[in-house]
């Protein structure tokens, strides 16, 4: 199968994946590969990564993907090119699990040269959402890497903050 993407420097963050050709919607683009680990191993790795990230913001990113109720995939390996894909608030890809494989798939038609992005699916957490700033630059951008289903919660929280701020300035 022809490779559908190239890896280039991204304006969003670090390197990213870009469409090599026009890609039709519903196309499997790249498999999210890595080490198959149990949920217990997965928790351990997340804890270690969390501690690392508290020391150094650029390290300690977690690349764990849920595969099923028993196993996860740890994609923090060089051969997993999908780990370079950036998040966007206006993404063009999503993920799909087919026969125990995680695929990044286009959910709309993508033009050659466009950056491939997906929603990282981070849930809104009032204590750590600030650690994940979004610079996707899309018109829909909410400023933080938070999954679209949690945007309501995020907006509500930010609004409350803004109101408290006004009060203390009065
Ligand atoms: Zn954004």
Give the domain CATH number at 131.
2.170.270.10
Is residue 45 a part of any domain in this protein?
Answer: no
Distance 51 CA to ligand 1 centre (A): 26
Is residue 39 a part of any domain in this protein?
Answer: no
Is residue 89 a part of any domain in this protein?
Answer: yes
Is residue 15 a part of any domain in this protein?
Answer: yes
Distance 146 CA to ligand 1 centre (A): 9
Give the pLDDT confidence of 109-163 residue by residue, as tens digits: 999 999 999 999 999 999 889 988 999 999 999 999 999 999 999 999 999 998 8
Number of separate domains in the chain: 1
The model's confidence at residue 58, banded by pLDDT at 50, 70 and 90, is low
d(CA 120, CA 141): 14
Is residue 165 a part of any domain in this protein?
Answer: yes
Give the pLDDT confidence of 3-26 residue by residue, as tens digits: 999 999 999 889 999 999 999 999
Distance 89 CA to ligand 1 centre (A): 4
The model carries a pTM of: 0.87
CA-based radius of gyration for the chain: 17
Distance 1 CA to ligand 1 centre (A): 32
- Is residue 83 within 8 A of residue 5, CB to CB? The reply is no
Is residue 113 a part of any domain in this protein?
Answer: yes
For residue 94, give its domain range.
5-33+80-169
């Amino acid at each position: 199968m022809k490779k559908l993407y190239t890896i280039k420097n991204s304006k969003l963050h670090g390197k990213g994946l870009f469409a090599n050709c026009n890609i039709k919607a519903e196309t499997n683009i790249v498999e999210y590969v890595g080490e198959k680990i149990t949920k217990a191993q997965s928790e351990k790795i997340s804890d270690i990564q969390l501690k690392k990230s508290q020391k150094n913001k650029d390290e300690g990113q977690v690349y764990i993907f849920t595969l099923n109720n028993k196993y996860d995939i740890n994609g923090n390996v060089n051969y997993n090119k999908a780990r370079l894909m950036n998040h966007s608030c206006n993404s063009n890809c999503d993920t799909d699990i087919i026969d125990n494989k995680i695929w990044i798939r286009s959910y709309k038609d993508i033009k050659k040269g466009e950056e491939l992005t997906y929603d990282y699916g981070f849930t809104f957490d009032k204590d750590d959402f600030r650690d994940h700033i979004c610079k996707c630059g899309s018109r829909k951008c909410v400023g933080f890497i938070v999954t679209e289903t949690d945007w309501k919660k995020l907006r509500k929280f930010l609004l409350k903050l803004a109101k408290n701020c006004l009060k203390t300035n009065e």
